[in-house]
Amino acid sequence: MPRMVFITPEGERQDVDAPTGLSVMEIAHLHGVDLEGACEGSLACSTCHVIVEPDWYKKLKPAEEDEQDMLDLAFGLEPTSRLGCQIEMTEALDGLTVRLPTATRNLMDS
């Protein structure tokens, strides 16, 4: 089974099993990683924002327009930012490493 790494805002690494077919957001929830996902992956928020390590970012499918629009609302946006709900785990992504931002912006609670 592939594995992936979450890096907390404090710099702690959490290595986890990452079943293929699940999104990074779903994998985070499976392992108790603090990644919100307020809209449950329906592309209506940016609370599952992650920062993909640059070497891995190049291996991902490009973000579609809807994801890019939601990313514009994310706190702490970086050049390799993505929404965790839109990254599907595959064998080719074994070892994927993402950082969690220091905060999220949840517009769904307004």
Domains of the chain: 3-104 (3.10.20.30)
pTM of the shown model: 0.92
d(CA 28, CA 34): 7
- Helix, strand, coil % over all residues of the chain, rounded to 5: 25, 20, 55
Each residue of 18-47: pLDDT tens digit?
A: 999 999 999 999 999 999 999 999 999 999
Q: Residue 75: pLDDT band by 50, 70, 90 thresholds?
A: confident
d(CA 97, CA 73): 22
Residue 108 is predicted with a pLDDT of 45
Decide: 9 and 102 in contact? Cβ < 8 Å: yes
Q: What Cα–Cα distance (Å) separates residue 87 from each residue in 10, 98, 109?
A: 23, 11, 24
Residue 102 is predicted with a pLDDT of 85
Which DSSP helix (H) or strand (E) runs through 49? Answer: strand 49-52
